[in-house]
Amino acid sequence: MKFYDRVNEMQILQENEVQAERSAVFTVLMGRRRVGKTSLITHAMEGREYAYLFISRDNETVLCRKLQRSLEEQLGIHVYGNLTHFRDLFEVIMRESVNRHFTVVFDEFQTLYKINPAIFSEIQDIWDRYHTESKLNLIASGSIQSLMKRIFEDENEPLYGRPTSKFTLRPFTIAVLKEIIADHSPNYSNEDLLCLYMITGGVAKYVELLMDAQCYTKEKMLNYVCRQDSYFLTEGRDIVNQEFSDEGTTYFSILQMIAEGMTRRGDIDGAMQKDMGVYLQNLEKNYNMISRLKPLLAKPNSKVTAYEISDQFLRFWFRFICPYQSLIERQQFALIRQNIGKNYEQFSGRTLEQYFQAKTMESGLYTQVGNWWDRKGLNEIDMIALNEFDHTAVAAEIKRNPKKISMSDLQTKVDALPKPEFKQYQFELKGLSIEDM
């Protein structure tokens, strides 16, 4: 699959590279696993002098020998003897960058934390001593977001405040997903697009796997996911194991409960028989795996909340793959595929809501997009989009089948919106179905 989009991110990296010709730049690039960080860097640095250094899970001595060889091969930086400490390797890079301009990329930078946490203090010391004279374009890329945030956003950590540029690479937007599937299958159906969004959530690697395998239709995509050799069968577990450490089992259980429909805090606490507040907060704030949903414009301390897996692929994986590991071990892939087919319409109904919410936010016309429901559960609106500047708003009923949409029922629900919060908005009512994708 060809390289798509990333125009703004490419511009950031290329402008930082030019800036580093005058003074050192330290860029931090974060993003979930498989979102396309390495491909972005490779394309942005094409034709420029740079070294790509992968931080593998070796001991410090072995890692430094590997990185030393890579520096010699890619940048011609020769060092007499064997470097055994990362601080020595980094100081060689910084010294060299005083006399010449080049880029160094440390991929999976957060792995250094597991090799030797003291490395970050050493990087801070060396960076502080050399960066005013240096012409280095330093890029630290990482996919374990909890660790990357800790390294660069915790004010108690040595590298806090050192980066000059920092951004997160997001999955492809709805518009880009449409472009990709149209390039590969001009006659795609909206059902095909919805399935692609449901499985991949716009994550570049997942989209590439399906497109390269010529899986352009809903049926082919689902069949591919359930194949014996499918990359998708183990990917969810790999992501979770990468992020979590000692308490992985607890987080796994919570995610599986949410995927099965246990979305209320009280229900989760009851099932686990203890307070899960800290775990839920970590999943939301540190790991970015769940979202805490509240009725739009609800007060910050509102207890009317529900949890949802925010990553589309993980939402799919925990619902249809994770609970059936015994079937995978017994090679019963056809049963997994049948179960997905049986529950597809119900599951994809919520996916369709998320699709329209994402698409509406991407339009740039609204400042807030979300759901609304009342405390008693009598009224629920699938999507409300607000523009806080001109006080325009959209309320939408979203159903797979357009025949099930009732505009009169939607008007009744809009009339039930709390007046103090919503009285300033002029609402447009919409019915959205799979036909409107």
CA distance linking residue 101 with residue 371, whole number of Å = 50
3-state SS assignment for residue 258: helix
Nearest to 222 by CA among 55, 52, 343: 343
pLDDT at 129: 97
CA distance 264 to 267: 5
pLDDT of residue 227: 95
Give the tens place of pLDDT for each residue, 169-221. 999 999 999 999 999 999 999 999 999 999 999 999 999 999 999 999 999 99
Q: What is the pLDDT of residues 47-66, one digit of tens each?
A: 999 999 999 999 999 999 99
Q: What is the pLDDT of residues 12-36, one digit of tens each?
A: 999 999 999 999 999 999 999 999 9
Res. 301: pLDDT tops 80? no
pLDDT of residue 242: 84
Strand partners, 27: 139, 165
pLDDT greater than 70 at residue 226? yes
d(CA 12, CA 18): 10
Q: What is the DSSP letter of 362?
A: H
As beta bridge partners, residue 380 has 373
- Rounded CA-CA distance 409/396 in Å is 11
| Residue 230 reports pLDDT greater than 80 | yes
- pLDDT confidence of residue 170: 95
Residues paired with 396 in a beta bridge: 383, 430
> What is the Cα–Cα distance from 283 to 193, expressed in whole angstroms?
28
- Kindly list the distances between the CA atom of residue 142 and the CA atoms of 26, 37, 169, 178, 416, in Å, as whole numbers in the listed order: 14, 8, 10, 28, 46
pLDDT of residue 246: 65
Residue 122 CB neighbours (<10 A): 17
The reported pLDDT for the residue numbered 222 is 98
Strands, E assignment, 3-142: 25-30, 50-54, 102-107, 136-142
| Better pLDDT: 246 or 73 | 73
Confidence of residue 291 (pLDDT cuts 50, 70, 90): very high
Which pLDDT score is estimated for 17? Answer: 97
253 CB burial (10 A radius; 0-12, 13-18, 19+): middle
The string of pLDDT tens digits covering residues 354-394 is 999 999 999 999 999 999 998 887 899 999 999 999 999 99
State pLDDT tens for residues 242-255.
888 667 789 999 99
**Which pLDDT tens digit goes with each residue over 121-163?**
999 999 999 999 999 999 999 988 888 999 999 999 999 999 9
Counting residues of the chain whose pLDDT is more than 90, the rounded percentage is 88
- What's the mean per-residue pLDDT of the chain? 94
Lowest mean pLDDT among 278-282, 299-303, 324-328, 369-373: 299-303
pLDDT in tens, 392-427: 999 999 999 999 999 999 999 999 999 999 999 999
Q: Is 370 helix (H, G, I), strand (E, B) or coil?
A: strand
